[in-house]
Amino acid sequence: MSVFDDIHRTHYTDQVQETLIGQVVSIAGWIEDIRDIGKVAFLTIRDIRGAAQVVLSANTLSVAKDKPRQSAIIVSGVVQHSKSKDFPLEIKAEKVNIVTEAIHPLPIDPTGRVESAIDKRLDSRALDLRNPKTSSIFLLRSAVLDNIRTTLRSKAFVEVNTPKIIGSASEGGANLFGFEYFKKQAYLAQSPQLYKEQLILALDRVFEIGVYFRAENSHTVRHLTEFLSVDIEAAFINYEDAMDLAEEVIRNTFNVNKIIDRTDGDVLHDRLQLPTPRFPIDRLTYEQCIEGLWKEGEKLEFGEDLSDASLRKLGEIHKGFYFIKDWPLKLKPFYIHEKLDNLELSQSFDLQYGYLELISGGQRHHDPVKLRKRLIDQGLNPMNFDRHLRVFGWGMPPHSGWGLGFDRLMMVLTHSDNIRETVLYPRDTERLIP
């Protein structure tokens, strides 16, 4: 590749190192800053991996001098030492190509010098991503997804994709988006629950990383109407095994070295400050949690779901990760298996990080007769689950699984207190664009 090729770079900014001194390189990115000091000017060019200083003089100065910040630019020149306190090296420009000029005023300042509220940033998300603080969230997101895939693949899980347009409600009617589909009623999938259970019948262990939809009319920092979920389901494992798998997946995502390996080079090294939670993760029972809350003066009955306020209180008592297991059966969906030694309780768990629920999981019913009875107990019509129930007659093994709210995991990893920070184009009750 020629360095004079107009649209190619030879190096990303972070690859411009000592060993290249005296050589001609070409870098490409966006003008972050121009400091004109007379006969020369210093240009800061940013690309996805960092920033570099470019020195302009004579011809190159006249090309770039008054160009607007955030314009796309390609520069080639010789690498040399720099006297700047920010850059040990710089590129003495020989050729400058302003590819497209940015049109000012820009809606937000992507350098972050002028801070904008999250809503304003989301309105101009593509530009917001030029801010390294923002882009690092999404570099990390990509690396973590890769890391989760690797963990699950190493445990014999098969990645699957199930439909998101479905003909009947998979978990009862609440929170469903419905729409007309060629004169039939259709819905957007809330979870892959029924499909993943069917698939373990032959594939044994499956996982899916997909988006799901919930008509959550809630205005919280942890609910979106469209969110990314990591779901697993496996035959011949119980809910303790499922918790082990969740713990291993989570532990690997907090291993900085494993994550860094999955990004190109060291981009995230300086930017990353992953939390350092304690492992192994405590496994508390629902009962222990309730007793803890009673001690703190919280008024709630055994068997009640944990309200937002109770969860906030629990999060103060237990920092970091903890499982809440053995939930009252009546709080859990029809497919969750009761405990064998206490029929009021279930073989279920949630993984919490402080107040935030990240995962729900458990052992499922595999006996179609019991499953049918559970549907009726919960006021659902087994006729609507006909096609699902008949699969259970084809030799359904005992099985367990879980669903992880991936955007919420990213909140924890990036210390974000709003889920909208971790999703490129979030969807909520107010926001449908961009």
| Residues acting as catalytic residues | 214, 216, 222-223, 357, 360, 408
What mask of x and - would describe binding to ligand ATP in positions 379 to 418, judged by CB under 6 A? ------------------------x-x-xx----------
Q: Determine the Cα–Cα distance for residues 236 and 252; give it in Å rounded to an integer.
A: 24
- Which one of 2-10, 27-35, 71-79, 359-367 is the stretch in contact with Mg ion (CB under 5 A)? 359-367
Phi, psi angle pair for 273, to nearest 5°: -135, 70
For ligand ATP, the binding residue among 216, 240, 244, 287 (CB under 6 A) is 216
- Which one of 93-101, 199-207, 353-361, 366-374 is the stretch in contact with Mg ion (CB under 5 A)? 353-361
Of 14 and 421, which has the nearer Cβ to ligand ATP?
421
> Sheet holding 348-353: strands in order across?
158-159, 205-213, 226-235, 399-405, 356-364, 348-353, 321-325, 282-285
Minimum distance from residue 160 beta carbon to ligand ATP (Å): 18
For Mg ion, the binding residue among 360, 363, 414, 422 (CB under 5 A) is 360
- Which one of 77-85, 222-230, 254-262, 287-295 is the stretch in contact with ligand ATP (CB under 6 A)? 222-230
Question: Which residues lie closer than 8 Å to 329 by C-beta, 6 or more apart?
Answer: 336, 338, 339, 343, 344, 345, 346
DSSP 8-state secondary structure symbol assigned to residue 22: T
| Of 268, 234, 238, the residue nearest 146 (C-alpha) | 268
Of 327 and 392, which has the nearer Cβ to ligand ATP?
327
| 352 touches ligand ATP (CB under 6 A) | no
Q: Determine the Cα–Cα distance for residues 326 and 365; give it in Å rounded to an integer.
A: 15
Q: List helix spans (H) across 48-164.
A: 58-64, 118-123, 125-128, 132-153
Question: Which residues lie closer than 8 Å to 36 by C-beta, 6 or more apart?
Answer: 65
| 151 touches Mg ion (CB under 5 A) | no
Q: Determine the Cα–Cα distance for residues 72 and 303; give it in Å rounded to an integer.
A: 59
What mask of x and - would describe binding to ligand ATP in positions 234 to 273, judged by CB under 6 A? ----------------------------------------
| 358 interacts with, out of ligand ATP, Mg ion, none, CB within 5 to 8 A per kind | ligand ATP
List, in sequence order, every beta strand (DSSP E) within 292-345. Answer: 321-325
In the complex, which residues of this chain contact ligand ATP (CB under 6 A)?
214, 216, 223-224, 227, 229, 357-360, 403, 405, 407-408
